[in-house]
Structure 1
Amino acid sequence: MGRSVGRERNKLTALAINGKKKPGYYGDGDGLYLQVSASGAKSWVLRYSLNKRVREMGLGSASLYGLAQAREMAQGYRKLLTQRIDPIDHRNAEHAKIMLAAAQRRSFEQCAAELHVLKRSSWKNVKHGDQWINTLTTYAYPVFGKKDVTAVSKADVLRALEPIWTTKPETAARVRQRIRAVLDWAAARDYRQNHDPHMWDQISRALPSASEAKKPKHFEACPYLVVNEVINAVRMSGAEEVVRDAFEFLILTAARTGEVLGARWSEIDFAQKRWVIPAERMKASREHRIPLAPRCLEILAHRRDTGSELVFANQKGRMLSNMVFTMLLRRFGYTFTAHGFRSTFRDWCAERTSYPREVCEAALAHTIKDSTEAAYFRSDLFEKRRALMETWATHCAKKGEAMGEVVPIRVREPA
């Protein structure tokens, strides 16, 4: 059994310690000694035996630890001996734990940066990856970015989310999701200790309910009866030719802005009269085939010899700005958005055609929400969509008056 060497206790006094000048060991009892070195420095030592092995454990300088403190430390280590635990080995193990914890310590910001790099291959594009880290930089870092990830609390998360929870609900939801991803990843890597997976339920209850949050604002759409008027206004404007062509192509294909601006010649199949957008450029990460109406083919033929891999490249051969259509519409004072033309197309489909709903939804690359239906329905209805898109192009070429109605276009009030 382990025991301290020397059973008498409390033989030393503070006055006696000050008087010890000669180098050597001076016992206090039960294995605790004052050691005086040749230089006169004084320190505490605990001698003990365990498994027939005598060991000597330094407890620190006598100038740092008084007699009472030394006795208290010795008593703690003696308790370990009663459990047959070697005090030196125990202290070394505790020190190793501290060193390991220090090596694993990460701030929330460091964890987010590491996770961002690891997720790089999963981003649909560079812009998506930038948005992921930028939302954390804007909303989470100012509150707890430099904080040890283990110390990030529910209150910290709430302080980041509350200012935007009702005013920017969609952004807030993304920030919450990304904070959670960082904390869960940190816990899996043992950077975050004592992680509570139930904290998100408590956070949800602490935030305003969804009904109290500001409802998302939908993109304002152009009335479908005046699409031709808008297209003609843009054609006659002083905008760059590439912008005019890209804008009309956007309307005729009912595609998203990013899909049009990033269109490449390798995606255009003139023989089959189709535009095939690869999965990595689509919101739903699924390849989307768009039938090209005659007017779309005219636009493409006009742009074919630009010398860039991009269909709608600027003068430097690079992609047009994502704001190019927004600025174009603002110049005319229109209140609707470029993305809103997708809604314009869908409204026209519903009110002016008899095409089945699934054909119209497929034209917008909308996925089937019902998982059972989606499992059995694999067709993209391409040939039926070809007829739909040609009918849409014909509609876009007609003036509102030719369809029997005159619809005023809403414009911004002058400042």
Structure 2
Amino acid sequence: MARDSNRLTAVAVRKLTAPGRYGDGGGLWLQVTSTGSRSWLFRYMLRGRARQMGLGPVDLVSLSEARDAARDSRRLLLQGVDPIDARNADRQATMLQTARGASFRECAERYIEAHQAGWKNPKHRAQWSSTLETYAFPVLGGLPVSDIDTGLVLKVIEPIWSTKTETAARLRGRVELVLDWAAARGYRDGANPARWRGHLDKLLPAKSKVAPVQHHAALPFKDIPALVASLRERDGTSARCLEAVILTAVRTSEALEATWSEIDLAEASWTIPARRMKGGREHRVPLSPRVVDILSALPREGEFVFPGAKAGRPLSNMALLTVLRRMGREDLTTHGFRSTFRDWAAETTAFPNEVVEMALAHAITSDVEAAYRRGDLFPKRRKLMEAWGMYCTGRQ
């Protein structure tokens, strides 16, 4: 009687080089390809379907090892388990176990690397890295990301929650994002221990309770003409930039990083690209006559409209604050002039609220309104900014 199993011998395996399949029995086959490669196969039927599973090359897997692997596969089949599915599950478990060994620092660095291209402000990456390096990494950095729980998150955040509340709040949000990224990658599971709503808000006092919101210091609008008149008496790029910030009601960074390619003096307009806008959407700014005069008088020395002391770099935010300090107005911030503009428009003009909000490039919070408002109300905003320019220069 022919043998049903163990048909092959180690000597025969070494000598079989002609292309084909040679059975050892029990579903185990030696496969020799036309290219000369030789490997083991386990062939079987499951639920009426023929399948085969590779067991490895002959030079790495011996005949006895291949027989053991085939025997293990037959045992799985007796239990109704597909050997291929079982092997895939084992590999997934091994990969997951390896992945779960990734540290919090590794995940944070990979998160920053993956997202930094979408961060408009170059300072954003530095702030991310700095806060994590200072507060999170000393506690969490070397730990497997899968092991981080609420107690560890609190160990990072709680010590500075009352003394550096804003920093602590940003830090919490960044830890939450890193842990969400790790979960999406399969490095951890379960609820995020750094989430605020319904979790940490039960363990820590609200930010507003320990650090009340402080708005940017703003000048009352009735005092703006006098300040602008004083500002016009000052020479220098910083003074002209600050005056332009006030007259256009843009955010400070939007003015500081303005380039000549964005300015169209003939059309009296300034188009700020989406990548430089807080809302990620292109914003057209109508330029009042005084702003056109300011820009027309500036020398075109390089890319930036308001160049700084360093070649190829714009003015810094400190340059504008220095102008205010020299004017004896340390109580003011450049961002606060947007509030001055908003108060003036609301209390002294009949311009619709949506025109004023669009002039400030505020996001539309209503999905319905956003769906229907597709224009940028530019002609109406030009009239608004011309009225503001006249008011600021004392001609209204």
Residue pair 2:218, 2:336 contacting (<8 A) in 1 also: yes
User: Among residues 242, 245, 253, which one is paired with 1:258 in the alignment?
Assistant: 253
Look up the equivalent residue of 2:170 and give its one-letter code: R
Look up the equivalent residue of 1:203 and give its one-letter code: L
2:41 aligned partner: none
> Once the two structures are superposed, what CA deviation does each residue of 1:120-143 show, in whole Å capped at 9, x if it has no partner?
222123222332333322332233
1:153 aligned partner: 149
Q: Distance in 1 between matches of 2:368 and 2:328?
A: 45
Match of 1:384, SS state, is: helix
Q: Distance in 1 between matches of 2:256 and 2:193?
A: 43
Mapping 1:24-35, distance limit 5 Å: none
1:8 aligned partner: none
User: Which shows bigger deviation, 204-213 or 314-323?
Assistant: 204-213
User: Among residues 294, 299, 305, which one is paired with 1:311 in the alignment?
Assistant: 305
Residue pair 2:239, 2:320 contacting (<8 A) in 1 also: no
RMSD over aligned CA atoms reads 3.2
Task: Give, in angstroms, the shift of residue 177 of structure 1.
Answer: 2.0
Task: Give, in angstroms, the shift of residue 257 of structure 1.
Answer: 0.6
2:392 aligned partner: 396
Q: Structure 1 residues 358, 202: closer, same or farther in 2, change over 3 A?
A: closer
User: Which shows bigger deviation, 327-336 or 194-203?
Assistant: 194-203
> Once the two structures are superposed, what CA deviation does each residue of 1:21-60 show, in whole Å capped at 9, x if it has no partner?
xxxxxxxxxxxxxxxxxxxxxxxxxxxxxxx97xxxxxxx
Q: Structure 1 residues 100, 367: closer, same or farther in 2, change over 3 A?
A: closer
Q: Distance in 2 between matches of 1:208 and 1:382?
A: 44
1:17 aligned partner: none
Task: Give, in angstroms, the shift of residue 185 of structure 1.
Answer: 1.6
Residue pair 2:102, 2:187 contacting (<8 A) in 1 also: yes
Look up the equivalent residue of 1:122 and give its one-letter code: G
Q: Which runs of 5+ in 1 are unaligned?
A: 1-51, 54-82, 84-92, 404-415
What TM-score does the superposition give when structure 1 sets the normalisation length? Answer: 0.68
Residue pair 1:295, 1:393 contacting (<8 A) in 2 also: yes
Look up the equivalent residue of 2:357 and give its one-letter code: E
Task: Give, in angstroms, the shift of residue 311 of structure 1.
Answer: 0.4
User: Among residues 200, 203, 214, which one is paired with 2:211 in the alignment?
Assistant: 214
Look up the equivalent residue of 1:111 and give its one-letter code: C
Mapping 1:197-208, distance limit 5 Å: 197=192, 200=195, 201-208=198-205
Residue pair 1:169, 1:215 contacting (<8 A) in 2 also: no
Mapping 1:112-131, distance limit 5 Å: 112-131=108-127
Q: Distance in 2 between matches of 1:266 and 1:95?
A: 55
1:226 aligned partner: 223
Task: Give, in angstroms, the shift of residue 178 of structure 1.
Answer: 1.5
User: Which shows bigger deviation, 110-119 or 314-323?
Assistant: 314-323
Task: Give, in angstroms, the shift of residue 379 of structure 1.
Answer: 2.0
> Once the two structures are superposed, what CA deviation does each residue of 1:332-365 show, in whole Å capped at 9, x if it has no partner?
3310111000001011111121111111111111
From the CA coordinates, give the structure whose radius of gyration is larger: 1
Task: Give, in angstroms, the shift of residue 100 of structure 1.
Answer: 7.1
Match of 2:284, SS state, is: strand
1:372 aligned partner: 368
Q: Distance in 2 between matches of 1:339 and 1:354?
A: 24
2:179 aligned partner: 183
Task: Give, in angstroms, the shift of residue 98 of structure 1.
Answer: 7.0
Q: Distance in 1 between matches of 2:279 and 2:126?
A: 19
Identity of paired residues, percent?
Answer: 46
Task: Give, in angstroms, the shift of residue 279 of structure 1.
Answer: 0.7
Instruction: Determine if the alignment matches structure 1 residue 302 to structure 2 residue 283.
Output: no
Q: Structure 1 residues 368, 299: closer, same or farther in 2, change over 3 A?
A: same
Task: Give, in angstroms, the shift of residue 103 of structure 1.
Answer: 6.5
Residue pair 1:125, 1:281 contacting (<8 A) in 2 also: yes
Q: Which runs of 5+ in 2 are unaligned?
A: 1-66, 69-78, 80-88
User: Among residues 346, 350, 366, which one is paired with 1:350 in the alignment?
Assistant: 346
Task: Give, in angstroms, the shift of residue 114 of structure 1.
Answer: 0.8
Residue pair 1:349, 1:360 contacting (<8 A) in 2 also: yes
Q: Structure 1 residues 186, 302: closer, same or farther in 2, change over 3 A?
A: same
Q: Distance in 2 between matches of 1:227 and 1:185?
A: 47
Residue pair 2:153, 2:193 contacting (<8 A) in 1 also: no
Look up the equivalent residue of 1:186 and give its one-letter code: A
> Once the two structures are superposed, what CA deviation does each residue of 1:75-112 show, in whole Å capped at 9, x if it has no partner?
xxxxxxxx9xxxxxxxxx99997797356522211110
User: Which shows bigger deviation, 169-178 or 311-320?
Assistant: 169-178
Instruction: Determine if the alignment matches structure 1 residue 107 to structure 2 residue 103.
Output: yes
Instruction: Determine if the alignment matches structure 1 residue 325 to structure 2 residue 320.
Output: yes
